[in-house]
Structure 1
Amino acid sequence: MHKIEKIFDINIVLMTLFSSVETFREEKNIELIYDMEASIPRELRGNPDVLLHVLNKVLTFVCENTDQKEIVLSLDAPEDFVYEEFISFTIKDTHIEKEKIRQFLETGLHDALEMLEGKIVYESDADIQLDLPFKISELGHRRHYRLPDISMLGKKVLLICENEAIAHSIEKMFKYFLYDVDVGFDAFKAQGNDLTPYDILIVDDHLNTEEFEHMIARVQQNIPLKYVLLKDAHIVERKMISVSTNLIKPVTEESVYELIISLFKTQTARREVRSHSKINVIDLEKYLQSNKDHEKCEDQSSKIQESIEAMIEKRRGMDLPILDKSIGEANTKNAGLTYPHELKIFLDTFDRSDLYFREIVNQKSIHKIKEFCIDLERHAKLIGAESMFKLAETLGLIFVYDKLDMLPIYPGKYHIELQKLIEAIKKELQFK
């Protein structure tokens, strides 16, 4: 077998991966975090397409089977990456049965791992560990990021991020550039709640308010503090008076590198001597936590305003396509699957399932109903069966809000929806 090798940027693979599993992550509200060691070269030589395929299948499997709300994909390599070395891709704490993981790895990844000449590692403490060999892009070219000016080195960062895994990952990436990083409110308290020593303040976007921005703007009149918001990619931009720029998740070493350059590109080569004649004391914990509590109260109040029955009726009454081919093809492509094959799987799995659903509802077998609805929701979303997906999602709301008295009306609704979907699938497959 001819081994394909080309130079690629590992960060581009990771960003593409993040987008490709977005549907599955959002479906279960899962945060994907990259934890990269400094030993990972920026550019590698190997097969990025197969690597992306492998990581996509792994993360899709984990998203579909885990009950955790965050997945940390760790990348590690030997410190002395001379020419060709194994890079370890690991995921821990998935809460998935070991045997189920083993079966997936050995059956679902066998051919792709063989193409990469990789191996599954079982003796580690990780739930999943794949060791894949890659070469450096150019012999002797091991250092991955070089800041263009010495004045960009040696900065001090204060990072306020409630997610410990994200905070740990970002901290390591800044330390790669010899930055001194304080994480959390306790570390800031140890500095006397004084922002004066810091060059960069990074805060979770959901903690930020316009009032806080004005407070930081006043501090910026005394010291050249760069205020950075840690944001999700889908957050809508607005004009902010004191925010220097954003750090978009998922954070990689590449994005930290670009952040530093964007913040200090206009600075002269001579490092500025910072005056400590003025202190800039702010009780960040009290202020930011109060913002968070206020947001929670508003969110809870808005949910209370809409009754459970009205919410369910609203979702059930939406006019959605029975089978959206464009959505289904995009979903299956992102998952490394083929659309016609998944349509056939849906037929094999759910044909005449309306009889089974009516039976378990009549038996009031809550556990079986839950399992059936989860399976239906996942398969319907994958193939673009938007109307069926919304019906399954509505059934999920009935369990979430404990409105089981509404269940008896749904076997009839499911029968009608299933017949329309099966007819649409069979019609689509006739053209293949």
Structure 2
Amino acid sequence: MQKIEKLFDINNLLMTLFSSLESIGNHKKVELIYDMQATIPRELRGDSAVLLRLLSKMLTFVFQNTDKNEIVLALGAPEDFLYEELMSFKIKETNIAKEKILEYLETNLSKDLEILEGNIIYEKDSDIHLDIPFKINELGYRRHYRLPDVSMLGKKVLLIGSSEKIAQSITKMFKYFLYDVDVGFDAFKSQGNDLTPYDILIVEDKLNTEEFEHIIAGVQQSIPLKYVLLKDSHILEGKTISVSTNLIKPVTEESIYELIVSLFNNGTSQREKKSQNLKNIVDLEKVLQPTKNDLNEKKISLDSVPGVNLNTIIETKKGHDLVILDRELGKENTKKMGLKYANELKNFIDTFDHSDIYFRQIVNEKATNKIKDFCIDLEKHARLIGASSMLKLADIVSLIFVYDKLDMLPIYPGKYHLELQKLIKEIKKDLRIK
């Protein structure tokens, strides 16, 4: 069989791979993370279709059999990628028996590996290690991502998130552009809780609040700090106060390149000299991860103000009549993500039809973690398809957790049952299902 050598962008392939695995990843609660060495060329020559098929089969097997909630696919290449070199694809810490993995690889991937002229590498350090040869498109180039202006290099980043593996991956990608990255609250504390030295602040979306955005907006009055949300998807949301842009998972080297260009390609990318005396002190750990006592104090203070408590907020939200299915919004959301609206409507039915029974069960069991996870999934899918009324209901249930008013939960299985019936009826109209 003649070897195919077509030009392809490794980042595009990885994004396609992620999309193909998103459904099973959501179902199994497994997140795929890419860890890319800076030595990997942006453009390669080879059989991308077979590579995509091979990686998709391999990761589907891992997702189906692992008990981990994060799987890191590490891509590596030699320091000098001269012409044709071996690229490595490794996965560690799957908690799957090594014998089971090797049996699967040898039985199910052997034909694709033969087409790609790749090999299974048997080693103790990785659960899976494949070496596959690819050719470089541009000979003689060692830097595969070139920023438009040298002033975009060498800036300072503060990254706050909940996943150590994602943080390590993003840090490595920023270092390609000579960026200095501090990760986590402890690293920030060592800088005196001062945001002044930083050019970019990246915060995981679920930690962000409107209150925090106001704090950052105040900081941005004195320093040109770019505030970036690390998000799970391109789903459109309302206007933000201080957010410069979003960084969408899964993150690749191309993602970081595009982020830098979008933030600093405006003619003012040269770092401004900052006063030694200027400080912008913010206790990020307190405002982004308040303790239970802080939350209780906040709830007490809010409840003590006439007209500002959970019941009032819920009544206010109830007062907003929202459409059951905003099709135009849903189509806009799915288009931005490269998805088909009809497919996502069907996906919603496949995922949530009869889920009212499950919701009632976990509420009766007072399984708070399961309820939280369910609400997160429901919010994500409802927002994507434009199910505005359902999104409001999920938002109200989330507020119950924020205010620690779990005694209010028992009335919501019935509300969810009615809302779900109405939404599925609307979806079936679009899909012409009786």
TM-score norm. by structure 2 comes to 0.68
2:152–2:264 contact (8 Å) kept in structure 1: yes
Matches of 1:228 and 1:167, distance apart in 2:
14
State the 1:138 CA deviation: 2.2
* Residue-by-residue CA offset, 1:332-351 (whole Å, 9 max, x unaligned): xxxxxxxxxxxxxxxxxxxx
Matches of 1:85 and 1:91, distance apart in 2:
20
CA-atom RMSD in angstroms = 3.0
Structure 1 residues 393 and 269: CA distance shift in structure 2, 3 A: closer
Matches within 5 A, 1:250-329: 250-268=250-268, 270-290=270-290
Structure 1 residues 269 and 190: CA distance shift in structure 2, 3 A: closer
> Residue type matched to 2:170 in 1?
I
State the 1:26 CA deviation: 0.5
Matches of 1:401 and 1:143, distance apart in 2:
57
> Residue type matched to 1:172 in 2?
K
Matches within 5 A, 1:43-54: 43-54=43-54
In structure 1, the residue matched to 2:42 is: 42
Matches of 2:215 and 2:273, distance apart in 1:
24
State the 1:269 CA deviation: 6.6
SS in 2 for 1:282: coil
1:150–1:269 contact (8 Å) kept in structure 2: no
Structure 1 residues 401 and 77: CA distance shift in structure 2, 3 A: farther
State the 1:87 CA deviation: 0.7
In structure 1, the residue matched to 2:107 is: 107
> Residue type matched to 2:89 in 1?
F
State the 1:21 CA deviation: 0.5
State the 1:124 CA deviation: 4.1
* Residue-by-residue CA offset, 1:79-135 (whole Å, 9 max, x unaligned): 111111111101111111112111110111011000000000112411111111101
Tell whether 2:150 aligns with 1:150: yes
Structure 1 residues 28 and 122: CA distance shift in structure 2, 3 A: same
Matches of 1:45 and 1:89, distance apart in 2:
17
Matches of 1:53 and 1:223, distance apart in 2:
47
Matches within 5 A, 1:26-37: 26-37=26-37
SS in 2 for 1:246: strand
Segment drifting more, 103-112 vs 261-270: 261-270
2:234–2:248 contact (8 Å) kept in structure 1: no
State the 1:275 CA deviation: 2.3
Aligned residues: 320
> Residue type matched to 2:113 in 1?
L
Structure 1 residues 232 and 388: CA distance shift in structure 2, 3 A: closer
Matches of 2:186 and 2:142, distance apart in 1:
36
1:54–1:109 contact (8 Å) kept in structure 2: yes
In structure 2, the residue matched to 1:194 is: 194
State the 1:273 CA deviation: 1.6
* Residue-by-residue CA offset, 1:394-415 (whole Å, 9 max, x unaligned): 7899799889xxxxxxxxxxxx
2:39–2:79 contact (8 Å) kept in structure 1: yes
Q: Which structure has the larger Rg?
A: 1
In structure 1, the residue matched to 2:11 is: 11
> Residue type matched to 2:280 in 1?
N
In structure 1, the residue matched to 2:247 is: 247
Structure 1 residues 35 and 98: CA distance shift in structure 2, 3 A: same
2:229–2:245 contact (8 Å) kept in structure 1: yes
> Residue type matched to 2:208 in 1?
N
1:200–1:225 contact (8 Å) kept in structure 2: yes
Structure 1 unaligned blocks of 5 or more: 303-382, 404-432
2:188–2:194 contact (8 Å) kept in structure 1: yes
Structure 1 residues 220 and 399: CA distance shift in structure 2, 3 A: closer
* Residue-by-residue CA offset, 1:330-372 (whole Å, 9 max, x unaligned): xxxxxxxxxxxxxxxxxxxxxxxxxxxxxxxxxxxxxxxxxxx
Tell whether 2:85 aligns with 1:85: yes
In structure 1, the residue matched to 2:338 is: none
Structure 2 unaligned blocks of 5 or more: 300-309, 311-345, 367-434
Give the share of equivalent positions with the same residue, in percent.
66
Matches of 2:270 and 2:354, distance apart in 1:
63
Matches of 2:148 and 2:131, distance apart in 1:
33
Structure 1 residues 402 and 226: CA distance shift in structure 2, 3 A: closer
Matches of 2:261 and 2:70, distance apart in 1:
30
Flag as ranges the 4+ runs of structure 1 deviating above 4 A: 291-295, 386-403
In structure 1, the residue matched to 2:64 is: 64
SS in 2 for 1:21: helix
